[in-house]
Structure 1
Amino acid sequence: MKKPAGPGEILRKKHQYLIPCVYHFYAEPMQIVRGERQYLYDHAGRRYLDCFAGVSVVNCGHCHPDIVRAVCEQAATLQHTTTIYLTQPVVDLAERLAAVTPGRLGKSFFCNSGSEANEGAALLAALATERGEFIALRHALHGRTKLTMSLTGLQMWRADTSPVGGVSFAPSPYCFRCPLGSRKDSCDLACADAVETIIKTTTSGRVAAMFAEPIQGNGGVITPPPGYFKRLREILDRYGVLLVVDEVQTGFGRTGRMFGIEHFGVEPDIMTMAKALANGAPVGAFITTDELAAKFTRPSASTTGGNPVTAAAALATLDVIAGEGLADRAAILGDRLANGLKGLMSRHPVIGDVRGLGLMVGAELIRPDKSPAAAEADLALEMLKDRGFLAGKTGLHRNVLAFQPPLVVGEEDIDSLLTALDDVLSRL
């Protein structure tokens, strides 16, 4: 194995050869050289509990032997042909997705990333409805392509200075900081009702689709109230607007269900996915109903989308999720994590809110006046890293600590994380 270059040399090459938009965490970063299940190891051999899973990617843990074996066997047999030739892994994967996704979703298109999946979903929605406008949520993140960046409701991630037109933004179901000034226990889902007002006032009335994440990951782990999506579905159906559910971060057991939208009892017209589908292999997909799929007949392809190696990785990943009961595990351990964070909140006023589902939990840090505590979040991340724990940070103000560990994490890992965070918060 090649000797690690070390953080200093990695940073030198990064600054010399990578475009500056590629940023990194930590004032004193380490070089990650190895991963195993829920742990990562740096250049000096130090072990870290991965509490972010590569941004909700390695749900089955790092280098799961069953997935590694499937990838190696397929790479040694047939690595690439593209979809102009018949191969089995891609159709087997499409069959599996039809079985595990909710409702009548049954026909898939494979690509390489969540951005591509959302871009494809938007194209399908426009073709199926013969409409060209879209609605998205504030605080959403749907990708880094021109259109998906224009569907993103976070200024930090909207680098394009000339975004695509025809996109209207609805208030996010952000109960802790309600954009409409309502109270969670008496709002009557005003944020969902606002979508109807938007359709009638800021669009032409010819909206193709609305994009929504079941939980807004980069937005700050914003978790809608229980009835939100049902109300939203009623409004969209009234105006013939399709619902595109972005499961790029929430899919494949992360929230305690196979897909996050299953918590809300609503069937999407189109679902997008990526990240955890192949446990780290580059993958993206969108899946839809037979009726909508029938509207997309002109030739299209993704050169490496659904290639044999990625499809083999995804099939092995689905086997592991089912075989090891990872969705149920996420639900149980997620409750342990959320309850532990709420216990810390009672002792540390810097935690203003704890929210999420399963092993997708956020702790929003605030100052005494409830303003976002972004500097404190940065310091907490650095101090957690120094104690051997790697968490994430999200939100409009980057003040939400995000905990999205591999779903193979153990009870003792959750408890040790909570103990470390208790110590960190005591020192802020």
Structure 2
Amino acid sequence: MNNYIGSAKIIEKKREFLFPCSHHFYKNPPQIVRGEMQYLFDSQGKQYLDFFAGVSVMNCGHCNPEILEASIAQMKTLQHTTTIYLNQPIVDLAEKLSHVLPGDIKHSFFCCTGSEANEGAILLARLYTGKNGIISLSNSLHGRTYLTMSATAIPMWRVDPALDTSVTIVPNVYSKDKPLDEAARDSLKEIEKVIQSKGADNFAALIIEPIQGNGGIITPPKWYFKELKTLLEKNKILMIVDEVQTGFARTGKMFAIENYDVVPDIITIAKALGNGMPISAFCANDEIASAFTKPSASTLGGNPVASSTSIAVLDYIEKNNLCEVAEKLGAKLKTGLLNLKEKHPLISDIRGLGLMLGAELLKENGEPASEETDLILEGLKDEGILLGKNGLGRNVLAFQPPLVITEDDVELVLSKLDKILCNL
């Protein structure tokens, strides 16, 4: 006998006890009560293939038994001390990360959320450079703290009416009216123009997502990051790469920036590192990390349970070759989506890398097909598939499943999506 209160009662309690900013997907949302690898189950026992993974969190699958074993074992021995006492899991995790982080990046400061990690990265850049200004790109999402919200350029997430003016937002690489390469070239020109007009001495760093997730799976061309890094180095401006959503094998590489053969100055990580356990970090090389000498700490960041869980996550990714899996299944999914694009005019673009793909939906007049997107999500949910959406118009279908899915899962999603598109 279960004690599930049901979807209607949960919505009622949300209205009474949570803030009204807390929204949910679907007109008829299920109450999710259980997870098992790539599957979720509702209070009625219905199984759903999860193709969103909690926005790229559950890369190793829900309630993965190998990872849970490490979490539970640590919970039974030592849950919490904070960093003022010595414990082994946090340093073991930092050491393990140093072997998978790009280039010469080896130092980590652990916290709990992606927002905290990005806030810390900006602080580190300011400490190292002695400069203040930050450059961010349109369509970006970097967090909900004051400074990271200021660096966020998606209007729906910029809720503070008095954001920090030290952040300058420039165009990203996307334009519905221009080819990708041309839009990317324009983006670099605008960044250079801002640096020249405001002065390089006023900018500590540029913060950028390798693929803009919430912004619509905006994926720069191969050459973009190398030219951007050259421009920033010329002006002594650091590059902060936000891998909160793109990290840990999702794009076919451990970190998405590795697809572009560039080593950032500072990298931020979160989400999939803990596979559901709250943990994040900002990371840098010896020289940049050495600038952070004044006392700082995170009460819960990198606690023994989160650290032990994250070590198990890294072990699982390596043991099961999840980078290769994401690359292989991502190619299969992308081919299938491109075929659907040829069949259904509503799909205007397919973009992304590995198992981080987006399908942009536009109406015949070029406007975002936001209502159709919601209908598709609702239809897929009824067929037992949970999919995400993003983009400024919330009109981009987001395919970001756990990396433990199978070829059959990919074929099922493509088949069900085709069926729903035919019936729109």
Scaled by the length of structure 2, what TM-score is found? 0.98
Query: What amino acid is the match of 1:249?
Result: Q
Q: What is aligned with 2:119? A: 119
Determine whether 1:416 maps to 2:416: no
Match of 2:191 among 182, 186, 195: 195
Matched, 1:357 2:361: no
Q: Is the 8 A contact 1:168 1:202 kept in 2?
A: no
Question: By how many angstroms is 1:47 displaced?
Answer: 0.4
RMSD: 1.2
Q: Is the 8 A contact 2:138 2:170 kept in 1?
A: yes
Tell me which residue corresponds to 1:267: 263
Is 1:347 matched up with 2:340?
no
**Separation (CA, whole Å) in 2 of partners of 1:275 and 1:182:** 33
Query: In structure 2, what is the equivalent of residue 184 of structure 1?
Result: 180
Whether the aligned pair in 1 keeps the contact of 2:173 and 2:183 (CA below 8 Å) is: no
Deviations, residues 186-244 of structure 1 (Å, cap 9, x unaligned) = 56722123211111124574200000000000000000011010110011011100000
Matches within 5 A, 1:7-406: 7-174=7-174, 177=176, 182-184=178-180, 189-202=185-198, 205-406=201-402
* Cα deviations by residue, 1:87-110 (Å, 9 ceiling, x for unpaired): 000000000111001101010000
4+ residue runs of structure 1 moved beyond 6 angstroms? none
CA distance in 1, matches of 2:155, 2:184: 28
Structure 2: distance between partners of 1:283 and 1:20: 26
2:288 counterpart letter in structure 1: L
Which residue identity lines up with residue 76 of structure 2 in the other structure?
Answer: A
Which piece of structure 1 moves more, 364-373 or 83-92?
A: 364-373
Percent identity among equivalent residues? 53
- Determine if contact 1:212/1:245 at 8 Å carries over to the other structure: yes
| Structure 2 residue identity aligned to 1:348 | H
Q: CA 1:11 to 1:346, structure 2 compared with 1: closer, same or farther past 3 Å? A: same
Report the Cα distance in structure 2 between the residues aligned to 1:38 and 1:421, rounded to whole angstroms.
18
Q: Contact conserved, 2:174 with 2:180, CA < 8 A, in 1?
A: no
The gaps in structure 1 that reach 5 residues or longer are: none
Structure 1: how far apart are the matches of 2:350 and 2:154?
A: 21
Q: 1:193 touches 1:231 (CA, 8 Å); kept in 2?
A: no
SS in structure 1 at match of 2:152:
coil
CA distance in 1, matches of 2:346, 2:244: 30
Aligned counterpart, 1:5: 5
Change (3 A) 1:29 1:187: closer
Q: Which stretch of the first structure deviates more once superposed, 315-324 or 190-199?
A: 190-199
Contact 1:352 1:370 in 2 (8 A): no
Structure 2: unaligned runs, 5 residues or longer = none
> How many pairs were matched up?
424
